[in-house]
Structure 1
Amino acid sequence: MTFSLVARCADTGMFGIAISSSSPAVAARCAYTRAGVGAVASQNITDPTLGPKALDLMGQGLSAPDAVARLQAEQPHMAYRQVLAIDAQGRTAIHSGPNSLGIWTDAAGRDVLSAGNLLANDGVPQAIVSAFEAATGHLGDRLIAALRAGLAAGGEAGPVHSAGLQLCDRVAWPVADLRCDWTTECPIEAVAAAWEVYKPQLADYVQRALDPSGAPSYGVPGDD
């Protein structure tokens, strides 16, 4: 019911996830990033605890492959789960349980991993990876380009209704966490539109959190 990618920017150390699904609010359950540690997508029959558990393991020094192997060994019902992980060195790992839905497959590239289930065809993850590697600019731009390419390659077997984009950088919270939780139109384009608005303000919102006295004008009535 989902296709996604997890990725790392080798130049900045930023991590990100882009994801889309026919299910509602997919990013709220499936997207996890942590600055300096990595990014994890937990999807298919979703267990929202798997993302934080994988990030905790990578934060303790395990590689993405070792963290996913630990989940496989210790967590129940992994036959129903699909988990993607990338770590601070760009190493990737994927678990797709045998009870993953429909056509399910994955593809990996440099600093990127994509996977999906209930796909229209088995070429969707490779199309996502190829588009990410060909894209330039901000990590958020590259994630959006890759997700669009996945949809153009067939995407999910049915129409998608939700999507999300999450980015983490050098602070303890996601610096961008944009979602379309339900639409009968294109959720990927809704998130892309939100990203175009948010991207120029991203650094300002971080500055306002760290030190409001040094932040730019808020542009609202009464702001001197």
Structure 2
Amino acid sequence: MGARCVHLRDGVGAVHSQNITDPRLGVRLLDLLEGGASAAEAIDRVVGTDATAPYRQLIAVDAEGRTAIHSGPHALGIVGEHRAPGAAAAGNMLATPDVPRRLVEAWQHASGEPETRLLAALRAAIAEGGEAGPVHSAALTVVSGHRWRTTDLRVDWSDDPLAELEELLAVWLPQRDDYILRGEDPARSPGYGVPGDDR
């Protein structure tokens, strides 16, 4: 899910292409956003020109915080959507249509790093019922102005993916900023703590 559905571009926006997903649509939406289209304009353009749009669920948040969602009529199972300034969520095969609303509200009310806010949002979605069937994958991805994904954590198959994602984040978050510095200014970065590192 994390490898196929999530599409982010610094200074441009965030896009999700899901249900019966086509990862190319995420790239296309980001290109439209980068070209100046709003979230709604980008989704309208893709939906209006792609014959497979009835099978897709698309979510976009542009750099101005404008949001748009498309849920095609062939989206599977129970479908839900919720939008707020700067945040949007949608899902299919849900336990209840309120899952996306709970996710967005939890994001809005959480504090701290974007990663911890996203984790709180995922927890709230699961508490609302999550998917109708078992959840086996979870992902958490953040861009923060450095032109690459500063956090990109995925659990691709597990009986408890959210718990495993939380464990990964607990390991990653304390060293995230060191890895950003290593990318931008390796001469000033802290030691790597590996054999051959004399710093």
TM-score, with length taken from structure 2: 0.96
How far, CA to CA, are the matches of 2:30 and 2:11 in structure 1? 10
- 1:61 paired residue number: 36
Report matched runs for 1:5-154 at 5 Å: 26-154=1-129
Report the alpha carbon displacement of residue 78 of structure 1 after superposing the two structures with TM: 0.4
Of structures 1 and 2, the one with the larger relative CO (CA 8 A, separation 6+) is 1
- 2:194 paired residue number: 220
Q: Could you tell me which amino acid in structure 1 is paired with residue 192 of structure 2?
A: Y
SS of the residue 2:23 aligns to: coil
How far, CA to CA, are the matches of 2:122 and 2:85 in structure 1? 16
Report the alpha carbon displacement of residue 129 of structure 1 after superposing the two structures with TM: 1.3
How far, CA to CA, are the matches of 2:39 and 2:59 in structure 1? 9
Does the 8 A contact of 2:82 with 2:104 survive in 1?
yes
How far, CA to CA, are the matches of 2:85 and 2:40 in structure 1? 15
**Unmatched tracts of structure 2, length 5 or more:** none
Q: Which has the higher helix share?
A: 2
Cα RMSD for the two superposed structures = 1.0
| Corresponding position: 1:204 with 2:178 | yes
Does the 8 A contact of 1:42 with 1:84 survive in 2?
yes
Give deviations 1:98-153, integer Å, cap 9, x for gaps.
00001001011232111100101111111111111110011111111001100010
Does the 8 A contact of 2:98 with 2:128 survive in 1?
yes
Give deviations 1:12-38, integer Å, cap 9, x for gaps.
xxxxxxxxxxxxxx1111011110011
Q: Bigger radius of gyration, 1 or 2?
A: 2
Does the 8 A contact of 2:80 with 2:96 survive in 1?
no
Report the alpha carbon displacement of residue 202 of structure 1 after superposing the two structures with TM: 1.3
How far, CA to CA, are the matches of 2:86 and 2:166 in structure 1? 21
How far, CA to CA, are the matches of 2:177 and 2:37 in structure 1? 30
**Structure 1 residue ranges (4+ consecutive) displaced by more than 4 angstroms after TM superposition:** none
Moved more, 53-62 or 212-221: 212-221
Aligned-pair identity in percent equals 49
| Corresponding position: 1:179 with 2:154 | yes
Give deviations 1:157-204, integer Å, cap 9, x for gaps.
0110011011011122111110001012x1112112111211121121
- 1:195 paired residue number: 169
TM-score, with length taken from structure 1: 0.86
Q: Could you tell me which amino acid in structure 1 is paired with residue 68 of structure 2?
A: A
How far, CA to CA, are the matches of 2:180 and 2:121 in structure 1? 26
